[in-house]
A and B are shown apart, each in its own frame.
Chain A
Amino acid sequence: MDQVKSRTLPLSKRGMSFETFMWLFTRLTALAMYGFILVGVVGALVMGALNQMSFIEVLRWALMTNPGHVEYTNVADIAPWVSTFWRLVATGMFLTASSHGMHGVIVILDDYFAKASQRKWIRILNMLGFFIVAPIGLYVIWTA
C-alpha cells in the first residue's frame, strides 16, 4: 500500500477551540465509559455472576451498576451489589453517559436544523432536559 501522509493535525498544532474541546470530550468520555463497563463486568464476576447470571444480565449490570438490574436474576444475596462503591460507579457512568449523550444529540440535530435560532433552541432544550433528568437519575441511583 502507498504511504499517504496523514492530513490530521496533531492537537498541539490545532489549538483548543470549543469545538476541538468537545470533539476530544466525546472521545475521552467514550473511553471512560468503557472503563466503567469493565469495572462492572469484573465486579460482577468477582461477586459470583458466572454461576448466577446470564451474559445479557451481566451486560445490563455493567452498563449501569444499579441493584434494580440484578433484581430478576438468580443472584441469591443482593447485599454486595448495593454497596456505596457500586452507587459511585453508577453515578460516574450516568454523568459521563448523559453528558456524552447530550452533546451527541446536539451534533445529530445540528445536521437537520441549520438556522441559528433553531440551533439555539436545540441547545436550550437539551440542557434543560439534562438538568431535569440528571437529578432524577441520581435520585434513582442513590435510593434504589
Chain B
Amino acid sequence: MGLNRNVSLKTGLQYKGQGPYLTYILHRIGGMGMAIFITLHILATFVEGRGWQIGDIINDIYISPFFQIFFIFCVLFHAINGMRITILDLFPALILHHRKAIMIEWIIFIVLYSFAVVTIITTAIGRL
C-alpha cells in the first residue's frame, strides 16, 4: 500500500474546503507545533539545569514575545477547536450545527487570542 495522489501541491493548496478545512489544518499545525516546541522546552530546561548554555539559549527564545505570540496561537486554537470536536463527537446530534459551532469557536478564539497578544506585549514592555 502506498500513497498515490494525483493532486499537485498547488492544487492541494487551492482546495476550497472553507471553514471546516481551515480548522482541520490549523488544528494539525497547532498540535504539531506544541508537540515539537514542548518537547524541546522540556529538554532545554533539563540541560539548563545541568549547566549547559544551549538550554538557556533555547528557553530565552521561548520567553521572547514573538515566539509567545506564535506559540499561544497554537495552544489556544488547538484547545478551543479540540473543545468543539470533543463536544460534537460526544453529542453527535449537534453535528447538524457544526458550521455555527465553528463560528462560535472563532469568536471565542479571536477574543481570547487578542487578549493574550495584548498581555504578551504589555508584559514584555513592563519587563524592559
Interface residue ranges, A against B (CB under 8 Å): 1, 4, 6, 8, 23, 27, 30-31, 33-34, 37, 54-57, 59, 63, 68, 72, 97, 101, 104-105, 108, 112-116, 129, 133, 136-137, 139-140, 143-144
The chain B residue with its CB closest to the CB of A143 is: B49
Interface bracket on B? 35 or more
Alpha-carbon separation in the docked complex, A113 to B2 (Å): 8
Chain A residues with CB under 8 Å of B38's CB are 97, 101
Which residue on chain B has the smallest CB distance to residue A56? B119
Given contacts A57-B123, A114-B2, contact A140 B49 (CB under 8 A): yes
Complex A-B: 21 CB contacts under 8 Å: A4-B96, A6-B92, A30-B83, A54-B122, A56-B119, A56-B120, A57-B123, A59-B72, A59-B116, A63-B75, A104-B31, A105-B31, A108-B31, A112-B3, A114-B2, A115-B2, A129-B39, A133-B43, A139-B46, A140-B45, A143-B49
Dominant secondary structure at the A interface = helix
Min C-beta distance of B107 to chain A, whole Å = 18
- A112 / chain B contacts, CB cutoff of 8 Å: 3
Q: In the assembly, what is the distance between CA of A129 and CA of B40, in Å?
A: 12
- The CA-CA distance from A125 to B5 in the complex, in Å, is 26
